[in-house]
Structures are given as C-alpha cells and as structure tokens.
C-alpha cells in the first residue's frame, strides 16, 4: 500500500476519534453491515470500507483513542493484510481474537463503547455485554458524520417475481406464516431480511450488487396482513397491483410508529439476524418481544417443486457457459495469453448469452497461482495477474437467472506440462472429500455440522485442512449464501430438509503458492432405500461441468471414487454435449472421458 493511501486511512481514523470524543464515547465498533445485516450491502452502507479500505464481505473494526483493530475470518485474513494500513490497524482473526475480548483487554475500565443499534443484532451485542463492556447506542452513526460524500440509499424499483418461477402464491405463503404465528401465540413478526421480504411477497429488485433484493422491512401479522416499509417510489403501480389488498405500503419513516402501535402485542424478532434496534423499540413501546427465527427463513430454504425444476434448468444453461469457458481456458492457459480479469470477463460474456440471465451472483474469484490461496480473492486492476503456463488457476463464480441461482468452483492446471505430484495429491484429496459428500445418504434430522467431516477426512489423513465451511445454502433467484442451514463445524444444528440447496466445496490452500477448491451445488432429496422405516436423505448434484483430470492422482482414488467421477462426467457429456458448439463438444468429450481411458 503506498504512503498516500495510508495517509487517507490514518486521517479518517483521526476524524472518527475526534467525532467519538464529541459524542462522549471512548470507543466504537464498525461492523461490515447495513440495516438488514446482509452479506451484500449498498454503497451507502460500506462504512467499514470507507474507514479502513478493507473490501471483504465479513469484518468488523474496533476503535479506541490510542489503538484500533480489524477483525475478519479465515477467508479474508490474507486480503486484510494486503488492503489495510498496518500502522493504523491491528489485524486479527475474528475466531482466535474475538472483538469483545480485544476490547476488554485494551479499553480502559468503564470505557463507553458506542454502537449503531441498526447495524448489530441483539445476539451479537450480548457478547460485548457479557464481556463486561459498557455499550452505548448512538443516535447518529459517527462514520456518517465524517463521510461527506456518502452515496445516497438505493432507489431501484421492486418488481413482481412471476409464479412460473416462484411456484407458490404470495397469499398462500402469508397464510402459512400467519398460521405459524398463531400456533406460537404471537401477534406479529418483524421481517428485516430482504430475502424473506422477496420470498414472502414474490418480488425482486436491484438495490444491492449480485442479489436481486428490494431493500425494505415488513411486519407480518397473524391475520395474514403484511405491512411493508419501503419508499413508495420503489413500488410502481404494477407491483402494488401484484401485492394485492392484504399488503399495506408505507415509507421507511413510518416504521418506528408502526412498531409502537404493537404495544401490548407479542411480536417475534430474530435476535440473531435482526438489528437490536427493533427489539429495543418494541420493548419501549410496551410490546412483548418473543425471540424466534424469522418465520420465512426455513420455508424459503425448502424449495418447492417449481423452484427445484427452475434450479435444474438454470444449472443446465449455466453449464453451457462454464463448459465453453473451460474449453477457452484450455487454449489460452498453456499459452499464457490470459489474465485473471480477461478470464472473468470471458466467462461473464458466455453467461450473458444464456436465456434468463440476470447478472452474477457474486464477484467472480478469478485467481491464478498464489492468488488462489486468498480464499475470497477479488481481482482488481492493481492485483490483476497473468494466467501463466504450468500453474494452478482457480475460478469460483456464479450467476443469477430468473429461475435459479448458481455457484461453481473449478481448479485448473494450465499446462502444457504435467502438474507436480504434491499438487495432484492435494487436489485429489479435496476431490475425495467432494465425492464423499455428494454421494452421502443420511437420516433425516441430520444437520450440516454432522456431515462436515466427510468432506475433510481425506485431507485430515495427511495432516491437512481448510479454514472455511464446506457448504452454504443457496437461494432461488435470491442470495447465493442463504440460511438457515450450512455445512460447517460451526453450523447451527438445524436439520437438512428436502428441497434445500447446499454447496459442496472442500478446499486446500498453500499461502504464497496456490489454492484448491472444488464446488458443485447439491439438492437435498428423499433417499429411496429399501427396508427402512426411517426417512433418509440423499443429494442430487445440480452443477454440470467436468473436473480437471490433469490434477487428479488416479492411484489415490478408490474404485468407488472413480465410479462416481466417471458416472458424473458421463452425465455432463450426455446433458451438455448436445447444447454446445462442435469445438467445445470435442473438448468436452475428452474432458469427460473415463479416468481409465
């Protein structure tokens, strides 16, 4: 980082400290979040990036008068070191050094630590209080005070999401949510997740990058009524007609008065994923706050039959673009004639030719050589690296289609020479973990934490591991990272259910040299097993693209592994071969040939 950029971050940190002193605060926490606590936020909410220069999708800053620290998880540790000023910020792994612990250690006793109650959940806030810290909510975020050119909030419109894609009428969803509230003896639920709002009302928008959200809040009532709080200009006549009479529309400014009208009512608030402001406002108004999960989260994750078929259709089209790209890469890789940016641009160009394409589902991770070891690397003009011959190239990308969301990672050996034995060993062990998860059959009631080890076992046998979860949920033309289920050692124990779409992406990373990740999306389905009274589940693989055989050590694979790979590749060739151009089909036939061939 050059000295001029370093002075910008140091100056902003100084401005923040001056502002905190005026607010009678001894410190402040700056999470990477907006009022919806989502992964992707509009430019107006990129406060952490403004203050620090860090652009990762997960992080938090803690600022004291004499020191400051930045925290992120294992996906972004290397990126944090590259993007931030070490003279201004201590860089911390958020699991090894939790922010409450850091503040307890370094803040003076009785220090008043400020926070924005719209940018942190009650559950997260409780960890600071449990650490003995005196937390003070602010009426105005001090970052906003020192950010004179802060972008305006997004103003994109909300549009209907057709029943041909949604598969279920909004009224039916509202009736089901209302019934769940009545069963729980609750009068209403606060909806703060824009994905839940989109799913419940069958609407989509473009307020945040990569995810088709229309930002807003809602109150779902036990009598099926829904109040949404979104600027009226965002809801054209077509959308208002689509919403129907059971949905009332009000501007964002009317949200607090609407919460106060719930005095005496029992209102569900998700303490894990809703801003603390909501429960605090309801309690002051005299409402009874019932802690519970967003009532839309679980049914949204369990895709109906229309959504499941939409996912299959979207992945079929996406596979055409991916296979064309992998063929292209097989030509430019050995020549060294491509770069990380040109490769990502080419893949996007192929996807844009696909029917129902709406945009990328996240910024493509196009990473050559050592950049692949940065788990969530994002190429820029400054970091753009040539894709050189005889090295590892990792491409992790996805697309939003009107009928489904995709996410795929492939690790490629550029050639023309053979891959080193050590790299083939690592890739093959990752492949073994991927296969173990893909073909797993397990009893209903099992959660993601129970099956994570299957994907790591082959790596563990060699004393290796990876510092991220194995899988995340994926939405239906919604967020590429969707709850409530994930596959991870740290996953909440929520059972995997039929209709859920999860990623399968074990990996291995050698800092400074290369990264490996192999990812397909899986659809949970009832398993057809004879002679069992207990229901079991299995995974249907949705993603269709070959794995790079040049990186696989056949001797390390078991016969069962080879059978799975050969069957998968035969399916790819059968389903995708007829859809691509002749040159790509010829390449695909070779890429999908049986491993013994």
Residues 6+ apart with CB under 8 A from 370: 511, 512, 513, 514
Mean pLDDT of 14-36: 97
Backbone phi, then psi, for 272, in 5-degree steps? -85, -30
60-64, 84-88, 314-318, 401-405: least confidently modelled range:
84-88
Mind giving me the DSSP string for 524-576? EEE---TT-SS-EEEEEE-------GGG--GGGS-HHHHHHHHHHHHHHHHHH
Question: What local confidence, expressed as pLDDT, does residue 9 receive?
Answer: 85
Question: What local confidence, expressed as pLDDT, does residue 328 receive?
Answer: 98
State the helix-helix crossing angle for 305-332 and 340-352, rounded to 10 degrees: 140
373-394: per-residue pLDDT in tens? 999 898 999 899 999 999 999 9
147-190: per-residue pLDDT in tens? 999 999 999 999 999 999 999 999 999 999 999 999 999 999 99
Note the residue count of the chain.
597
Q: Quickly state the pLDDT bin for 224 (edges 50, 70, 90).
A: very high
Tokens 């050692």 sit at which residue? 489
Which residues are paired to 227 by β-bridges? 219, 248
Q: Quickly state the pLDDT bin for 78 (edges 50, 70, 90).
A: confident
401-459: per-residue pLDDT in tens? 999 999 999 999 999 999 999 999 999 999 999 999 999 999 999 999 999 999 999 99
Mean pLDDT of 84-109: 93
Average pLDDT of the chain is: 95
512-529: per-residue pLDDT in tens? 999 999 999 999 999 988
Mean pLDDT of 94-121: 96
Q: Quickly state the pLDDT bin for 16 (edges 50, 70, 90).
A: very high
Which residues are paired to 540 by β-bridges? 523
Is residue 4 pLDDT above 60, yes or no?
A: no
Q: Quickly state the pLDDT bin for 365 (edges 50, 70, 90).
A: very high
Mean pLDDT of 569-582: 98
Residues 6+ apart with CB under 8 A from 328: 346
Cβ contact 371:411 at 8 Å: no
Which residues are paired to 367 by β-bridges? 394
Question: What local confidence, expressed as pLDDT, does residue 597 receive?
Answer: 61
Is residue 128 pLDDT above 90, yes or no?
A: yes
Residues 6+ apart with CB under 8 A from 443: 534, 535, 536, 537
Q: Quickly state the pLDDT bin for 491 (edges 50, 70, 90).
A: confident
pTM exceeding 0.85: yes
User: If DSSP states are collapsed to H, E and C, what string results for 217-253?
Assistant: EEEEECCCCEEEECCHHHCCHHHHHHHCCCEEEECHH
Q: Quickly state the pLDDT bin for 353 (edges 50, 70, 90).
A: very high
Question: What local confidence, expressed as pLDDT, does residue 289 receive?
Answer: 98
> What domains can be seen in the chain, in order of their start residue?
3-145 (3.40.350.10), 159-300 (3.40.350.10), 302-591 (3.90.230.10)
Give the span between the Cα atoms of 383 and 127, in whole angstroms.
Answer: 37
Instruction: Kindly state the tokens that stand for 398.
Output: 């996805």
Question: What local confidence, expressed as pLDDT, does residue 3 receive?
Answer: 46
Per-residue burial over 20-41, b if 16 or more Cβ lie within 10 Å, else e, is beeeebbbbbbbbbbbbbbbbb
- Which 8-state DSSP code applies to residue 415? -
Q: Quickly state the pLDDT bin for 8 (edges 50, 70, 90).
A: confident
537-559: per-residue pLDDT in tens? 999 999 999 999 999 999 999 99
Question: What local confidence, expressed as pLDDT, does residue 528 receive?
Answer: 87
143-155: per-residue pLDDT in tens? 999 999 999 999 9
CA distances to 250, 269, 283, 426 from 265, in Å: 20, 12, 10, 57
Residues 6+ apart with CB under 8 A from 472: 480, 481, 482, 486, 487, 502, 503
Give the residue from 359, 353, 380, 350 showing the smallest Cα distance to 210: 359
Question: What local confidence, expressed as pLDDT, does residue 1 receive?
Answer: 46
């Amino acid at each position: 980082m050059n000295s001029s950029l370093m002075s910008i971050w140091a100056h902003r940190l100084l401005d923040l400290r001056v502002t905190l002193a005026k607010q009678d605060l001894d410190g402040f926490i700056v999470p990477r979040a907006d009022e919806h606590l989502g992964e992707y936020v509009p430019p107006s909410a990129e406060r952490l990036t403004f203050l620090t220069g860090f652009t990762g999708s997960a992080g938090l800053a803690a600022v004291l008068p004499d020191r400051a620290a930045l925290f992120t998880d294992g996906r972004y540790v290397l990126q944090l070191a590259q993007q931030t000023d070490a003279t201004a910020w201590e860089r911390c792994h958020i699991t090894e050094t939790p922010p409450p612990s850091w503040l307890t250690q370094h803040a003076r006793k009785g220090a008043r630590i400020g926070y924005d109650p719209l940018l942190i959940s009650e559950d997260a806030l409780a960890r600071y209080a449990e650490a003995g810290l005196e937390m003070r909510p602010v009426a105005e975020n001090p970052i906003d005070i020192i950010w004179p050119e802060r972008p305006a909030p997004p103003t994109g419109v909300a549009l209907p999401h057709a029943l041909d894609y949604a598969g279920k009428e909004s009224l039916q969803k509202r009736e089901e949510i209302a019934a769940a509230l009545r069963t729980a003896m609750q009068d209403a639920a606060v909806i703060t997740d824009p994905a839940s709002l989109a799913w419940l009302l069958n609407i989509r928008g473009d307020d945040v990058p990569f995810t088709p959200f229309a930002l807003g809040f809602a109150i779902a009532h036990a009598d099926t009524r829904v109040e949404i709080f979104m600027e009226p200009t965002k809801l054209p006549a077509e959308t208002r007609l689509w919403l129907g009479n059971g949905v009332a529309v009000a501007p964002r400014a009317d949200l607090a008065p609407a919460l106060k009208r719930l005095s005496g009512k029992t209102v569900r608030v998700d303490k894990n994923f809703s801003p603390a402001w909501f429960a605090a406002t309801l309690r002051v108004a005299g409402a009874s706050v019932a802690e519970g999960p967003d009532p839309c989260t679980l049914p949204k994750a369990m895709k109906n039959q229309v959504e499941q078929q939409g996912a299959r259709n979207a992945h079929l089209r996406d596979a055409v673009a991916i296979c064309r790209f992998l063929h292209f890469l097989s030509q430019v890789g050995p020549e060294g004639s491509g770069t990380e940016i040109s490769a990502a641009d080419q893949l996007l160009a192929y996807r844009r030719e696909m029917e129902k394409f709406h945009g990328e589902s996240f910024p493509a991770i196009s990473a050559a050589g050592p950049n692949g070891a940065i788990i969530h690397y994002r190429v820029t003009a400054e970091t753009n690296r040539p894709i050189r011959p005889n090295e590892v190239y990792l491409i992790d990308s996805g697309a939003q289609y009107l009928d489904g969301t995709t996410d795929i990672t492939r690790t490629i050996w550029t050639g023309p020479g053979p891959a080193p034995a050590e790299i083939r060993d690592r890739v093959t062990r990752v492949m073994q973990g991927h296969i173990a998860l893909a073909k797993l059959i397990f009893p209903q009631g099992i959660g993601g934490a129970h099956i994570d080890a299957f994907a790591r076992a082959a790596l563990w046998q060699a004393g290796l591991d990876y510092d991220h979860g194995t899988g995340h949920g994926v939405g239906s033309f919604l967020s590429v990272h969707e709850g409530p289920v994930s596959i991870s050692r740290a996953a909440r124990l929520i059972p995997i259910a039929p209709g859920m779409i999860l990623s399968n992406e074990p990996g291995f990373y050698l800092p400074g040299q290369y990264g490996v990740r192999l990812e397909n999306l899986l659809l949970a389905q009832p398993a057809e097993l004879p002679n069992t009274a207990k229901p079991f589940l299995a995974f249907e693989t949705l993603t269709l693209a070959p794995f790079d055989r040049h990186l696989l050590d056949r001797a390390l694979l078991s016969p069962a592994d080879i059978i799975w790979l050969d069957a998968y590749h035969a399916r790819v060739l059968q389903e995708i071969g007829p859809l691509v151009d002749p040159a790509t089909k010829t390449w695909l036939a070779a890429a999908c040939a049986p491993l013994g061939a």
